[in-house]
């Protein structure tokens, strides 16, 4: 049996789990976990979930596996979450951006200019607060398995390069389906329009919107530069990714299978973060190399100032949570 590596301290626990899983294999049910993602294979999130499937497969001698429905085969993220809540789909990887409407505390992570740095974000999501929020997902029919990286989101459009906040004025900007992002864009002078990621390319192409906002890997991987050629590093959001399991299905799994999935999730997060760091560096370079214009030198202060009312309004309800997150050093 080929065994994939376990890391450090967790080795003995994982080895015990594996030994148990192998012994239990004949009696236990086969489990094919269907998991969706809007990104294609080769993207950090899809590759990390594939790795998770390989681990599960190896640990259970093929009894458990993950089948990935990538590239929006199952539509957008709102729909995927609904399917997972219903138990029609076992798992999905989505942006925390679309989780706010299910568990509103997640909107703390969706506030513009909230996290100070990637390190700060990691400390918050990997610490007490992150776990607390993952646990809250249960009331929405979801089991939170972990947070992956997604860098910072910036604006891009097909009308003009954004060199100051004034350039955003009047631009129709697609946002993820969550009211907080509509108000965020409006506060900066644009018009925020909530549209599913699965309809974004066409919306840009047909001029339903003038632009959108996302991290460099999504801009590059989705070929959005073809239809929105000006990218500006406003870095106004640092929204993590999340992957969730259906509580309906989870509750029927043996404690051992649940442990195996949890264990593989931890390793999938590590894998995604490694892949992310490399991909993020490459994406903007790739776009620039194709001759597209990227504005990197931008004064963020006016953007931070303009979005203050959004942080006030949406942050009011969980002021305590926000204070605790801000205090994380």
| Interacting residues with ligand BDP (CB under 6 A) | 38, 77, 94-95, 150, 176, 197, 214-215, 218, 241
Closer Cβ to ligand BDP, 51 or 156, answer by number = 156
186/176 Cα distance (integer angstroms): 14
Closer Cβ to ligand BDP, 134 or 150, answer by number = 150
| Helix axes of 11-24 and 255-289: crossing angle, nearest 10 degrees | 120
CA 220 to mean position of chain CA atoms: 16
Q: Taking a C-beta distance cutoff of 8 angstroms, is the pair 167, 109 a contact?
A: no
For the bound state, the minimum distance from the C-beta of residue 241 to ligand BDP, rounded and expressed in Å, comes to 6
Q: What is the largest CA-CA distance in the chain?
A: 65
For the bound state, the minimum distance from the C-beta of residue 82 to ligand BDP, rounded and expressed in Å, comes to 15
For the bound state, the minimum distance from the C-beta of residue 27 to ligand BDP, rounded and expressed in Å, comes to 37
- Determine the 3-state secondary structure of 69 from DSSP: strand
Closer Cβ to ligand BDP, 38 or 168, answer by number = 38
Q: Provide the β-strand partners of residue 36.
A: 69, 92
Closer Cβ to ligand BDP, 47 or 257, answer by number = 47
Closer Cβ to ligand BDP, 64 or 200, answer by number = 200
Q: Which residue has the tokens 């894998």?
A: 271
For the bound state, the minimum distance from the C-beta of residue 48 to ligand BDP, rounded and expressed in Å, comes to 12
Instruction: Please report, to the nearest 10 degrees, the dihedral formed by the alpha carbons of residues 59, 61, 64, 69 taken in order.
Output: 100
Question: C-alpha distances in angstroms, 164 versus 217, 227, 274, 299, 303?
Answer: 23, 21, 33, 7, 9
Closer Cβ to ligand BDP, 64 or 99, answer by number = 99
For the bound state, the minimum distance from the C-beta of residue 138 to ligand BDP, rounded and expressed in Å, comes to 21
Closer Cβ to ligand BDP, 77 or 167, answer by number = 77
- Is residue 253 within a helix (H) or strand (E), and if so which, with residue range? none
For the bound state, the minimum distance from the C-beta of residue 70 to ligand BDP, rounded and expressed in Å, comes to 12
For the bound state, the minimum distance from the C-beta of residue 324 to ligand BDP, rounded and expressed in Å, comes to 26
186/150 Cα distance (integer angstroms): 23
Closer Cβ to ligand BDP, 76 or 130, answer by number = 76
Q: In what order do the strands lie in the sheet with 142-148?
A: 64-69, 31-36, 91-95, 241-246, 142-148
- Is residue 114 within a helix (H) or strand (E), and if so which, with residue range? none
For the bound state, the minimum distance from the C-beta of residue 92 to ligand BDP, rounded and expressed in Å, comes to 10
């Amino acid at each position: 049996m080929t065994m994939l590596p376990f890391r450090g301290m967790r080795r003995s626990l994982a080895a015990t789990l594996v030994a148990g899983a192998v012994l239990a294999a004949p009696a236990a049910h086969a489990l094919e976990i269907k998991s969706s993602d809007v990104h294609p294979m080769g993207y950090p999130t899809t590759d990390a979930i594939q790795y998770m499937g390989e681990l599960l497969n190896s640990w259970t001698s093929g009894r458990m596996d993950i089948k990935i429905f990538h590239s929006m085969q199952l539509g957008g993220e709102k729909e995927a979450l609904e399917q997972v809540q219903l138990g029609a789909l076992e798992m999905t990887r989505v942006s925390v951006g679309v989780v706010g409407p299910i568990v509103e505390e997640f909107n703390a992570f969706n506030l513009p200019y909230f996290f100070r740095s990637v390190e700060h974000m990691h400390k918050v999501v990997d610490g007490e607060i992150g776990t607390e929020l993952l646990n809250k997902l249960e009331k929405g029919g979801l089991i939170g398995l972990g947070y992956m990286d997604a860098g910072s989101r910036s604006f891009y459009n097909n009308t003009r390069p954004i060199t100051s906040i004034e350039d955003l004025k009047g631009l129709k900007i697609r946002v993820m389906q969550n009211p907080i992002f509509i108000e965020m864009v409006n506060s900066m002078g644009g018009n925020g329009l909530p549209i599913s990621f699965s309809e974004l390319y066409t919306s840009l192409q047909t001029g339903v919107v003038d632009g959108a906002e996302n991290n460099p890997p999504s801009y590059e991987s989705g070929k959005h530069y073809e239809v929105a050629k000006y990218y500006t590093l406003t870095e106004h959001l640092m929204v993590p990714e999340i992957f969730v399991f259906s509580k309906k299905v989870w509750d029927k799994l043996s404690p051992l299978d649940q442990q195996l999935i949890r264990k593989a999730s931890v390793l999938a997060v590590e894998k995604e973060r490694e892949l992310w760091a490399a991909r993020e560096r490459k994406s903007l370079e790739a776009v620039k190399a194709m001759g597209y214009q990227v504005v990197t030198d931008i004064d963020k202060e006016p953007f931070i100032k303009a979005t203050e009312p959004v942080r006030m309004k949406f942050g009011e309800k969980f002021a305590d949570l926000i204070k605790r997150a801000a205090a994380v050093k």
